[in-house]
Structure 1
Amino acid sequence: MSKKALCIGINDYPGTQNDLSGCVNDANDWAAELTARGFTVDKLLDAAATKAAMVAAIGGLIDGAAKGDSLIFTYSGHGTWVPDRSGDEPDGRDEALCPHDLATKGALLDDDIHALFSRRKAGVRIVLISDSCHSGSVTRGSEEDIDPGVPRIRFMPPEAWMAKEDLPPAQLRAAIPRGGFTRAGGDLLLAGCLDTEYSYDTRFNGRPNGAFTFYALKALREAKPTSYEKWFNAIRAYLPSTRLPQTPQIFGTKTARRFKIFQ
């Protein structure tokens, strides 16, 4: 049985004026944690994380995996959406990740990720951790770690990267945004927020990070949960909060939620 991971972190979005600060740190932090837990980890950071490179790296890991192998994919960067062309989205939108070359090559759709994940062989375990996307409000949780003057949302509006002639109708753009990649496939998805919320790029003790990544790793270290379900519950002790109104999500079967973490 082999354990492999791909950690993607993108701060730099040329041509959009929507750069972030904490995503490369997120990817490095996930990579360090996974390496310590016996994973062989590849990283795609900033300019290396083109759309083609993301597709090739995800597909390469899936195609090379055999029964009993475990694959972890982490993504930190902007989330966005495009009009749904296949008719499988109730809100008329496809959720998407934003590669470094978003402005020239476009987004990586949830449909694309689903197609990649569908190539896995029987018995290959896939977990996707996405620290990106969309907004809402709840008030609770600890905020003592957050630096003043932050956070910033990790959502790339279509008008920031699409050509004017390609923009969807105004009424669709005005609708409630969605995110979370529930159609991506795999065994488990851990997402930074609800479909109607944003994930936040912020700063802790002077160091930029995604709020979900920071608290997920903090909960992992401090609570020492034994399953994904228990890990998720420990994360919810921190999020949402007043300044970070994002509600983490877990998607997967009851059996998958009880998997041992990173096994």
Structure 2
Amino acid sequence: MEDYNMVAFCTEQTTAEQEYFYSIQPMGVNACVVNLTIGRNERNLLAEKQIEAARKAGMLVHASHIARFTTPEEARDEAKFFLANTRAFTLPKNAVHTLIFTPTVADKSTMELINFFQETLYLHGYRNQDLCVTAQLITNNIIQPGNLHLRPNLTVIDYNRLYPSVAGAGTWIFDDEYLDEQQLIAYDFMDFYTKPNQMRGRQLSLDTEYIVRAGDSYWMIARQLGMELAELLLLNNARIGDKIVPGQRIKIA
């Protein structure tokens, strides 16, 4: 299972931190995103232990912030609060800085606020940025990834699905359970969180079939799921030129 290319998103965890990271490592998780801050003044009190445990387990460590802002001023203040904490934990500037934006209410001002937060980080030298949002915010056209000023990596929260429902997702968070606990495990399509030139992975503990969407081909499916094209064709007793249609089920494991 060492071929997985996975990321763990950590906010709070009831399992002992060291045990948790060592337990998910055999599942192919080789990077983690530790949530440091929420809003303008709330810190994750477990962050120090989580960062230390992840590093001891040999994982790459990145940081995230859960947004609460509703005005540009609040977005700026939250960005500065987030940066103060990443510096306190000596995270390097090339670590991914993720904005987790999952509001209960969102409107046409949402894009402006996200841009304001991310541009504040950028002006302070933090260039590796990710925007983590629910699939619904994109499908409802509240967030338009192509119109974001910095064009960050896009992480889509799309629980309990066989594949992300949003095209262009760089990373996809889905539910998984291990040791009787819910895990926030992500598949890193674009190697944004994980080491470059690393073996790409497959889905983890999900359905063994992929449901074809409009415009799909065997080549596109293999690329999206990080599989070798030859392996995918072999699983389906297919040839590269075979046609597939939306709704068709393709074996991926």
TM-score when normalising by structure 1: 0.36
* More RCO (CA 8 Å, sep 6+): 1
Q: Which is higher, the Rg of structure 1 or of structure 2?
A: 2
TM-score (norm 2): 0.37
